């Protein structure tokens, strides 16, 4: 294959790679904004009967909620890391290889696990009167579940494509 054909073939992959990286950076920036602005606001304002409790207890509960929120956010950034690696695989022309399948599956399971942690934690905090944002968080959990299911389905499709790629590579 001559150099012009290689360049022509990889141009759409480079374009998709660039767009995916830009989208992932935007998602990471939005996630950072949520961590910096929303989490402290939600911890302080969502506390039921916060005005009636002593100041040290109020701030202790806020610190516990913030620690939980940040612990729940970490796997989301890890998912972005695996999607970033998949973007690199797109640029390399290796999307339909086992590494991309593994990365997408890890991203799906990380997200499933994080959603379970986030759901249980928010239910516990709601029962303790420390979370007034449960409807918002349940909506986010439902959206996250849909994304995790899509990641899992995409990993299945990538596995099938990788198997077909191996078969076609073997027949050439």
Instruction: Domain ranges for the chain, please list them.
Output: 3-171
In this prediction, residue 131 carries a pLDDT of: 86
> Low-confidence residues of the chain, pLDDT below 70?
1-10, 48-51, 172
How far apart, in whole angstroms, are the C-alpha atoms of residue 32 and residue 79? Answer: 14
For the beta carbon of residue 74, count every other beta carbon within 10 angstroms.
12
Classify the C-alpha dihedral 55-67-30-129 as positive or negative. negative
Task: Give the pLDDT confidence of 12-54 residue by residue, as tens digits.
Answer: 777 888 899 999 999 999 999 999 999 999 988 877 666 677 8
In this prediction, residue 107 carries a pLDDT of: 97
In this prediction, residue 51 carries a pLDDT of: 66
In this prediction, residue 9 carries a pLDDT of: 47
How far apart, in whole angstroms, are the C-alpha atoms of residue 159 and residue 102? Answer: 9
In this prediction, residue 50 carries a pLDDT of: 63
Cβ-count burial of 151 within 10 angstroms (0-12 exposed, 13-18 middle, 19+ buried)? buried
């Amino acid at each position: 294959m001559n150099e012009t054909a290689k360049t022509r073939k990889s141009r759409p992959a480079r374009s998709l790679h660039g767009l995916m990286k830009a989208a992932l950076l935007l998602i990471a920036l939005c996630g950072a904004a949520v961590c910096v602005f929303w989490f402290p606001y939600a911890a302080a304002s969502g506390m039921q009967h916060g005005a009636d409790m002593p100041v040290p207890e109020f701030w202790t509960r806020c610190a516990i909620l913030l620690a939980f929120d940040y612990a729940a956010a970490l796997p989301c950034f890890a998912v972005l890391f695996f999607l970033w690696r998949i973007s690199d695989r797109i640029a390399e022309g290796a999307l339909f290889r086992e590494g991309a399948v593994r990365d997408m599956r890890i991203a799906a399971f990380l997200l499933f696990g994080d959603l379970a942690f986030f759901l249980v934690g928010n239910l516990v905090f709601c029962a303790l009167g420390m979370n007034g944002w449960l409807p918002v968080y349940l909506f986010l959990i439902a959206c996250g579940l849909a994304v995790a299911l899509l990641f899992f389905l995409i990993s299945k499709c990538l596995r099938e494509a990788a198997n077909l790629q191996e078969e076609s590579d073997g027949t050439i």
